[in-house]
Amino acid sequence: MNFEKDFEQENSVDLSVPAHNRNTADDIEHNQTKSHDSSSDENIMTNKLSEEVPINQRFEKKPNGKLKKSVKGFTSMVAAGVVGSVLTLAVLPHTDYIKNFNNDNNNQAVSVASQPVSQAKPVSTQTASQNSIADTVQRVSKAIVGIDNYQRQQSQDFFGNTTSSQNVDTGSGSGVIIQKKDGYAYIVTNNHVVEGANKLEVSLYDGSKTSAQLVGTDALTDLAVLKIPGKYVNTIATFGTSSSLRPGDPVYAIGNPLGSELSRTVTQGIISATNRSISVQTSAGDYETTVIQTDAAINPGNSGGALINPEGQVIGINSMKIAESGVEGLGFAIPSDDVIPIVNQLIKYGKIERPYLGVSLADLSQVPQIYLQDLPNNVSNGVIVVNVDSNSAAGRAGIQPKDIIVSMDGTSVGNSAELRKFLYTKAKIGDTVKVGLYRNGKLMTVNVKLTSNANNTN
């Protein structure tokens, strides 16, 4: 039987499509592309041949002559390749190829090595701006001082007998160097920092200490001025305007919280509000003061320190904070626009000259109702006159004890703080003010010509 004929018959049987699958095969063939059909047919043929004809049968039926001829040709090709490789390796070392190849590589290495090599350099953490906050704070801090208040206290022995008296450090605060002239440097601080002191000691930026002289104080605004020898000072602070401040502006508080151990501590915050009116109790009486509210931390010892803007200008003197349970971030500073005129007067005169009315007052809310029986029922706000200085403007105008003042020049007065606020901000020395008051239940007006006496309390 012929080999080619047997092989053809085997393939024709294996590649035929059964009768019951022809329709399916026709559908598939109709939906596929021509190129895909050709590729699929070739794969099917190859797979069928692989499955139906074992390898030994495929070569088994080839004539022996053809198989031997193919093996012989392959062997010859391999042998020729081996011989060629051996000859190349044997001859190449005796030529200039390797020498030239090495020279080219050496030249390339030298040229690369001769190129400048960039080295890693440390990057400075300092900002490019010459006016960074750290630089600003460092500069202003040299004008911030610590102030210790020494008061004389008597000591007693075991049996309660007074033996001696000595100066005791009773408290500390901060101050700002604002001026240097005539051999002295002037420092602004809070009145409550220096009040009652028998001795004041100032500690400076470089750690040196010196005694300070009290120039003048103003209890109502809680401001005071000291002076020290100018040789200790090389830096003074500059003031900015507080009227341009807006809520949200960044600010920095510098001072000595909790004493000299934490000197020149810096805290950061924003302006929380401007022109806040806060009623305060001072040694000169109740007063309604205007302050800047900030959330920058202000603690005991910060009083008298500086509240600065990012440019390093003093825009407030730190004065107080509300220290109550559950309350945080409520600090207050005296606006620089209010500080400057007070400080200038204290340096020039040693005191603040204000209009003087010459009466002692009490708020109606503090007076028992028995003393207000003649007062109309619709009057609930005002101040009652407790005492009158006979030589004062009020005494000369005829104001009497038990009079109830309810207005000044038509402006309602609800309490003593509001009356002082009107006198010190709306009136001037020498002005004649129309005082509205109730006497024995009747409303009347008294004209008072204001005088000056900074040593008395209105």
Answer yes or no: are the C-beta atoms of 363 and 415 closer than 8 Å: yes
Active site annotation includes 165: no
DSSP state of 36: H
Answer yes or no: are the C-beta atoms of 225 and 343 closer than 8 Å: yes
d(CA 339, CA 228): 20
Amino acid in position 174: S
Pairing between β-strand 383-388 and β-strand 404-408 as defined by DSSP bridges = antiparallel
b/e string for 95-107 if b means 16 or more Cβ within 10 A?
Answer: eeeeeeeeeeeee
Please tell me which residue in 148, 174, 203, 222 is annotated as part of the active site.
222
Active site annotation includes 303: yes
d(CA 251, CA 298): 12
Whose CA is closest to 347, among 238, 213, 451?
213
Answer yes or no: are the C-beta atoms of 200 and 214 closer than 8 Å: yes
Active site annotation includes 192: yes
Report the first-to-last Cα separation within the chain, whole angstroms: 144
Q: Could you tell me the two tokens for 316?
A: 């407030």
Which contacts (CB < 8 Å, 24+ apart) does range 405-409 have?
405/361, 405/435, 405/436, 405/437, 406/379, 406/381, 406/382, 406/436, 406/437, 406/438, 406/443, 407/435, 407/436, 408/433, 408/434, 408/435, 408/436, 409/433, 409/434
Please tell me which residue in 174, 203, 242, 303 is annotated as part of the active site.
303
Helices (H), 114-220: 133-141, 191-194
CA quadruple 85, 86, 89, 92: dihedral positive or negative? negative
Please tell me which residue in 174, 192, 263, 319 is annotated as part of the active site.
192
Q: How far is CA 207 from the centre of its chain?
A: 28
Residues with catalytic annotation? 192, 222, 303
